[in-house]
Each structure stands twice: as structure tokens, then as C-alpha cells.
Homo-oligomer: A and B are copies of this chain.
Amino acid sequence: MTRASVVGTGMTTFGVHESSLPELFARAALSAYDDAGVDPADIDAFYFGNAMGGQTENDTHLAPTLATEVGLAGVPAQRFEDACATSANAFKNAVQAVEAGIHDTILVGGVERCTPETGKGTGEMTRIFASASHRQYEQPTGLTFPGVFALLTKRHMHEYGTTEEQLAHVAVKNHGNGTHNPRAHFGSETTVEEVLDSPIVADPFHLMDCCPFSDGAAAVVVTSDDSAASFDGPVDVTGVGHATDLVPLGLKPTLHATQAARDAATQAYEQAGVTADEIDFAEVHDCFTGAEVLASEAIGFFEDGQGGPAAEAGRTALDGDRPINPSGGLKAKGHPIGATGVAQIVELTEQLRGEAGDRQLDDPQRGLAHNLGGDAGTTVISIMEART
């Protein structure tokens, strides 16, 4: 069977940018071309993710516009939107298209602007983000995403005794990792005390439990594993799972289980022919510290209820036995919605190539990316492997 490989990556810094969406995206895409050593003429299709450009900047139908900017006018170009899982979904569809022989080489990428550079402040952006919660049953209650993930996390605390200190350790670890990532939104350490002393946003989350609003773009070049042999440093995609859960929250039988993640992980592990024990590290969707704890259990890194103690014990640190978010994660690297899923793929690729600089893990062979959307109602999980 044909498999897909990543042969080039590009990414802007995540943070505050003055550039327009097309400029920001082009910077990531052209870097990916350079890294792969390809020209636009080598690219057969464009799979693109952006979550909120319509609402933030009255900018839709972006796929052909950006295709034009990066020399791809003519090829099939389409936009995906699945809230925060937007570009992981674009990646999944691109991987499937390469595996099926529909296209040989695809540019996959995502971009988003979420900071006041869009002309919209935190309040307005919070309302726009909340468009990904249930219009009829959740938005009218005033529920925004800190509250959504607070509900999931509170249930986990109730079931397993997970503590605010354990959550704070996630923030401390991810900020520490972020100091080694030159593209991270935040480049400074924090402490458990600092996290716990920061203002409450939605109980149990303090400000420092929450990821920031960021601007940024990420792109990768995906090609067939056969074609990939002629590239430097290809990294193979061996599994991609995608599942949805009941929406809204009120319908989910076990809030803290994040069932879509479990189902997507099962699919991805089965495709890759491996178990969680054979994965050397993961990038997970830590929009809030609690989300990382839940994810670490859903992907099988830890038994249910052990995610909190594992974080506190340092098991998920760069030098732990189960490293999570070596990039700094959404918490420290930043979270430009439509770019986040592909940025995780960039980190997996760099780690598996041994090119992750000061945050390089010790010779990892297999990594996993976990990107969720909305109230965890969508999850896409990708597994990538170094070529031996």
C-alpha cells in the first residue's frame, strides 16, 4: 500500500503578527517548499485549514487566494474547518489522498490571526471562538471555551482526585519546553506558584492554565512514500484516526473520557500496527492544562486517572519516560487555531529527523499528534515514524 510521508516543513513564529493572512501563510508555505526542495510545479493539490477568517476579517474562499499567493493557482484547492482541529483534518484528507493515489504531492497548511492585530479585542475573539460551541444549547448560557474545558476537567478531578497543582505542573513543563522553541509565543519559564497565583478564568483554570490567542501559520509537503525516497529526511505517516463525539456537552455520557480521542487513537494505532507503549512522544491539544491531562489518558500514555500524577512526577517532561508537548504545546508555543494541527506535524517531523535543537528528544522513532476541535467533539490523531 502507498503511504504518505512528510518531506518538508515550514512555520512562522507563533505570536502577534502584523502581516495579512496571505502574507503569513505564504511565509510558512515557501519555507516548506525550501525545506523539501520543491517548486510549486511539483505540487498537485492544496489542502488548507482556516477556522475563523470569515468572522475575524470577512475573508473566506481563502484556498484559491492562498494558492495564487504560493504559486499553486490551477490545482484543486479546498478549505477545511473543524474548529481547533481544522488543519489536522486537512492533513488527514491529504494523507488519504496520497495513499489513494489521487495526488502524489500535496501542500497542506493552515493559518489564523487571533490577536488584536485583526482589529478585534479579547472579548470579541472570545465570542468568535465560542461559535464552535453549540449554538442552541451552549452559547445562550454564556459558556465559552475556558468554561467548556473547565467542565471536562472538573469531572476528571471529581472522578480521580486530580488537583490544581497537577494541572499547574503541565503549564510549568510546557513553558519550560517553549523556552527551547524559537517559534513559541511565550519564551519564559513559570512556576507552580505563579500559575496558582494567577487570576481564575474558569474554575479550576487560572490564567496560566490557558493557552494564548496567537497569530501564525504552518505548512508541510506530503508525498507518497515512494517519491519520498528521493528527498532528504522523509518522515512517514503510518496512521491517521478521526472520530467525532456527541455534541453538545450535555449529551456526552462521560465528559472527561473525550471519547472521540479514544476512538481516533484506536484507529490510528490499528493503522500503524503499534500500541501506545511504542510511541516515544506526543504533541497533544493543551488548549488548557486540563485538556493535556485528559488527552494523555485518551491516547493511552497513562491509565485513566493517572494523567495528573504523571504530570506532577515529571513523566511528561523532555527527559521523562512519556514526553508530551516538547514544542511547548498550545500553552507556550501558542494557538493560531487553523495552524495548530499542522504545527503539531511540523514538531513531529523535526523531532523524528533529530532537528529539534535544544528541545530534541533522545532519538525518538515514533511520535503522535492529537488535535481536537470544539468541546473535544472532533479529534484527529496522527502517528509518524522515522525512516530507519
Main secondary structure of the interface of A (DSSP, over half): mixed
Which of B59, B128, B131 interacts with A131 by CB under 8 Å?
A: B59
Which of B54, B57, B242 interacts with A76 by CB under 8 Å?
A: B242
Shortest CB–CB separation between residue A341 and chain B, in angstroms?
12
Which of B65, B81, B132, B244 interacts with A75 by CB under 8 Å?
A: B244
List of B residues within 8 angstroms of A81 by Cβ: 54, 60-61, 79-81
Chain B residue at minimum C-beta to C-beta distance from A59: B135
CA–CA, A128 and B83, complex, Å? 20
Verify if A97 is at the interface (C-beta below 8 Å from B). Answer: yes
List of B residues within 8 angstroms of A22 by Cβ: 136
Q: How many copies of the polypeptide does the oligomer hold?
A: 2
Decide if B247 touches A64 in the complex (CB within 8 Å): yes
Verify if A89 is at the interface (C-beta below 8 Å from B). Answer: yes
Interface size for chain A: under 10, 10 to 19, 20 to 34, or 35 or more residues? 35 or more
Decide if B58 touches A139 in the complex (CB within 8 Å): yes
List of B residues within 8 angstroms of A263 by Cβ: 74
CA–CA, A77 and B263, complex, Å? 13
List of B residues within 8 angstroms of A61 by Cβ: 81-83, 131-133, 247, 373-374, 377-378
Verify if A63 is at the interface (C-beta below 8 Å from B). Answer: yes
- A-side interface residues toward B, CB under 8 Å? 20-22, 46, 51-52, 54-55, 57-61, 63-65, 67-68, 72-83, 89, 92-93, 96-97, 99-102, 127-128, 130-136, 139, 242-248, 251, 260, 263, 373-374, 377-378
